[in-house]
Amino acid sequence: MIEIELKARVSDPAAVEARINSFLSFVGTVEKHDEYWSIPVLSSMVLTTGFRFRIRHEAEKTLITFKEKTYTDTIEVNREVEFGVQNEEAFRKFIAKMSAKPLYSKQKKGKQWRGVGNLLAELVAVEGLGNFLEVEMLFEDGSKVKPESVKKSLIEIIERCGLSAADIEPRPYSQLLGMPKY
């Protein structure tokens, strides 16, 4: 799956919510607790920070995600693989056997909306960082994706919510939380 997303800082969540309600369909509230982990990898006799993945706790499910992230200007394009885990305790024992180490965690609480097709928007409070509007489009087949065209559409959504391109936060949450870039 390909995920293309932008996020913008929000100073007045109530105003953004009022605008977004006027053109997108409200889905419900969201609460996500994410843990980011790394499994060290020995490559050409050099130990690297290795393979990174996320454990997400959301509602009554646990999801594991790993991504290949690329950035172009302010747009983030992720090729991601995600799967559910029914026995989290067993999964944690499994990653412990691989010497997985926790990197950081983040919590988001907010509301979610859907638009036409594959558009998803979330207005969230990220613990320790403030409020953000996240807009993304998901694509099953990446061969037809034109990131610049998608970016333009996402910026239009951000602007319809009363924000501007200047409000877009280009750094990933990991950097905002003080973690090194990866």
- Looking at every residue in the chain, the average pLDDT score rounds to 89
Entry pTM: 0.85
56 belongs to a structural domain: yes
**What average pLDDT does this structure show over 56-77?**
82
| pLDDT per position as a tens digit, 87-136 | 999 999 999 999 999 999 999 999 999 998 889 999 999 999 999 999 99
128 belongs to a structural domain: yes
Contact 74, 167 (CB under 8 A): no
Contacts with 24 (C-beta within 8 Å, 6 or more apart), sequence order: 113, 114, 115, 119, 121
Q: How many domains does one find in the chain?
A: 1
Which of 34-38, 59-63, 76-80 comes out lowest in average pLDDT? 76-80
CATH of the domain at 160: 2.40.320.10
Q: Determine the Cα–Cα distance for residues 103 and 21; give it in Å rounded to an integer.
A: 36
Q: Determine the Cα–Cα distance for residues 146 and 113; give it in Å rounded to an integer.
A: 23
pLDDT band at 74 (very low <50, low <70, confident <90, very high): low
Q: Determine the Cα–Cα distance for residues 123 and 132; give it in Å rounded to an integer.
A: 6
156 belongs to a structural domain: yes
Contact 30, 110 (CB under 8 A): yes
